[in-house]
Structure 1
Amino acid sequence: RKHAALESARIEIDKRKIDMKVAKQNLLPEFNLNASASNNSLADTEGKAFEQQFKNERYSFSGGVSFRIPIGNRRAEADYRQTRLRHAQTIASYHQTQQAIMEEVRRNARSVRVNIKRVEATRVARRLAEERLDAQEKKFKVGLSTSRDILEDQDRLANSLTQETRALIDYHKSLASLDRATHSTLERFQIEMFYPGEVKAKTTTK
């Protein structure tokens, strides 16, 4: 929506600029050049009249120049001031929309960075839970652990897997939001999609 509003604001700026130029033109002096020609031939026959016209005889020419300087043209001046004001307001609206888009991008970029850290933290926790369960199973085989210990570590691993999955889901949601906000391929933020088993993500946006 904001990107559409930004494009609409650009178009409106161009329209206001044209209106302002037209209003400014109305304040300039008018310069008009007039010219006319007439045939004063008094030939008594059509043949002679045609011959005189062909030879450019008995023609009269007149011309004139009019130059008008608008003095105290309050309406034109008011129109010009109004178009300038509207043009300035349109530019201000454009910049406000632009700032709102950039703030949305920064907010979504921060969310992506937070979720990247969550994914990394939950992934470490899940790997530690896997290692702990593996060690517990080895101890159980030699009688140094109980089935209850095994079940507890299995629960810990299941919980860590759930947390990691949630972090991944939130990460991809925030990444999709960032993609919509930037309307790009995310190259600007140097963020890459990744999936379980491969963590490759970084960001340079502040």
Structure 2
Amino acid sequence: MFLSGTAAAEALRLSIPPEQTSNPIPGNMPLSLEDAVAMALENNRGLRAERLRPAIQGTFEAQEQARFDPVAFADLEVTRDRSVRQFQEIQVQETFRSERERAEAGLRQTLPTGTELTLSLRSDRAESSRTSEQFTGRAGLSLTQALLRGGRIASNLVRLRQAGLDVTASEYELRGFIETLVADVESAYWEVVLAAEEIAILEDALRVSERQLEETRGRIRAGDRPETEAIGARAEVALRRQGLIDARSALARSQDRLSRLIRTPGSDWDRGLNATSPAAPGTYELEPVAVYVALGRDYRSDLNETRLRLQRDDLEIVQTRNGMLPQLDFFLTLGGSGFADSFGASVRADEGDGYDLSAGLRFELPLGNRAAEAGFSRARLTRAQTREVLHNLEQLAIQDIRGAWFDADQSRAQVQAREETLALQEELLRVAEIRFRVGAGTGLEVAQAQRDLLESQLSLLAAKIRYRQARTDLLRQSGTLLLHRGIETPGQEPVPF
């Protein structure tokens, strides 16, 4: 179905699940992932601009439809003549004058069948110094039918159908933009989650380091440990504070990036956004890579858009093949006339009537017809080129999908491996603390175990976030991200090929 004008604009309204529809979130308030996506779909200026593209394309389709609209026309012509004739023999001068007025109105329409119809009503008034006023009325019908070039409905509707395909292609382009925007929002959101949870882990590690430092100082005062052990404990506290500074800076940057994506210009970007969704996904399962490849062939916006461009090229071949035919038109004109001394009487033909009929054929063919043949060859070559582009895009899409699947699978495996590593590091820290308390170990060993545990915690957190981002990218590469998020947009139906 082709959309134009208002219909195309109505189709641009995005369907967002109720749970993703929310009011603007004030700064420093909890923000879920669904809220962030909904705000981006409502506020992002780039998306607002992209939404206008199908509506703009719809105006071109409306222009093509207007070629077959009826056209009203009217002509009015007034002529005044005056001439003087001199007769030398008899020394007489004669002045001759004449007046003619012509008015015509009617309707003209071109049909997709290659037919041009004209229905007109004409009135002529003539008066001169030698004749009295005379009116002539005529009603006529003219028909011109293309028999060869321009005589097929399919070729005459090519431009209209191409304009409709352009509208549909722009909808797929819009869908691709929305999918990229949603993926960017989700990636930025998880960066905020990562930075916030890193801060929480580092703050807890700082408290543990400070408690360890106080315990070490107590043992030093009791003479149980040498004073040099306090240096290592103080170094650990300094490292945790240094890590906190970096983590808070990373949080500010990630919040700013997320704000740019979801807030309207002019809002207070300095006020932070606190992400609330948990970092750990509910499941770490992936479908086989072949499933995502098959989905990508059907749902990727760039592939569907290119398939529409190929259909457009097929229509161009129909158009240019029609242009190679000779011009052969049949024309027919039929009219009825009435004569009288007034306009009304001339319509009734009070003083006489008449009929006219003419028909014939009109033929035209450029010698060599090189322009039409060149256009046809160009259309065929363009279609072949688009077909090759489509095959290349399919190969690149499969490569991107497989690469995204490998990344997601690697992240999934890393989460499982790092969960095991974290459990072992916790056990090592427990052993080091026991050894320290009974005097068999040193504070440096405890600090090292705490550092290793902290790195494992941060590494596991990063792996969980990377898995979420990798899975989002996998869904985007397969063209199904919006389907999984329950967001309905134009251009979500696969284009047959």
Q: Is TM-score (shorter-chain normalized) higher than 0.5? A: yes
> 2:440 maps to what in 1?
146
**Structure 1 unaligned runs (5+)?**
189-206
Q: CA deviation at 1:37?
A: 4.3
Distance 1:132 1:78, change over 3 A: same
- Supply the distance in 1 between the matched residues of 2:333 and 2:425 (Cα, whole angstroms): 101
> 1:97 maps to what in 2?
393
Q: CA deviation at 1:138?
A: 6.3
- Supply the distance in 2 between the matched residues of 1:138 and 1:91 (Cα, whole angstroms): 70
Query: Within 5 A, what are the aligned runs for 1:62-141?
Result: 62-66=358-362, 72-134=368-430
Query: Within 5 A, what are the aligned runs for 1:2-17?
Result: 3=176, 6=302, 9-10=306-307, 12-17=309-314
**TM-score by structure 2 length?**
0.30
> Match of 1:26, as an amino acid?
G
Q: CA deviation at 1:147?
A: 3.3
Q: CA deviation at 1:81?
A: 1.1
> 1:199 maps to what in 2?
none
- Supply the distance in 1 between the matched residues of 2:305 and 2:482 (Cα, whole angstroms): 24
User: 3-state SS of the aligned residue for 1:59?
Assistant: strand
Distance 1:139 1:83, change over 3 A: same
> 2:357 maps to what in 1?
61
Q: CA deviation at 1:181?
A: 3.2
- Supply the distance in 1 between the matched residues of 2:378 and 2:479 (Cα, whole angstroms): 35
Distance 1:38 1:185, change over 3 A: closer
> 2:318 maps to what in 1?
21
Asked if the contact 1:28–1:70 (Cα under 8 Å) also holds between the matched residues in 2, the reply is no
**TM-score by structure 1 length?**
0.62
Q: Give me the identity figure in percent.
A: 22
User: 3-state SS of the aligned residue for 2:324?
Assistant: coil
- Supply the distance in 2 between the matched residues of 1:153 and 1:38 (Cα, whole angstroms): 106
Q: CA deviation at 1:86?
A: 1.1
Q: CA deviation at 1:16?
A: 3.0
Give the structure with the larger strand fraction: 2
Asked if the contact 1:38–1:59 (Cα under 8 Å) also holds between the matched residues in 2, the reply is yes
Distance 1:154 1:40, change over 3 A: closer
Is residue 177 from structure 1 mapped to residue 473 from structure 2 by the alignment? Answer: yes
Asked if the contact 1:129–1:153 (Cα under 8 Å) also holds between the matched residues in 2, the reply is yes
1:140-168 CA distance string (max 9 Å, x none) = 77x5x823397254444334324323423
User: 3-state SS of the aligned residue for 2:333?
Assistant: strand
> 1:50 maps to what in 2?
349
Is residue 36 from structure 1 mapped to residue 333 from structure 2 by the alignment? Answer: yes
Q: CA deviation at 1:106?
A: 1.6
Worse-matched range after superposition: 146-155 or 25-34 = 146-155
Asked if the contact 2:324–2:373 (Cα under 8 Å) also holds between the matched residues in 1, the reply is yes
Q: CA deviation at 1:88?
A: 1.8
Asked if the contact 2:324–2:372 (Cα under 8 Å) also holds between the matched residues in 1, the reply is yes
> Match of 1:50, as an amino acid?
A
> Match of 2:441, as an amino acid?
S
Distance 1:134 1:35, change over 3 A: same
> 1:163 maps to what in 2?
459
Q: CA deviation at 1:104?
A: 1.6
Asked if the contact 1:125–1:160 (Cα under 8 Å) also holds between the matched residues in 2, the reply is yes
Q: CA RMSD in A?
A: 4.1
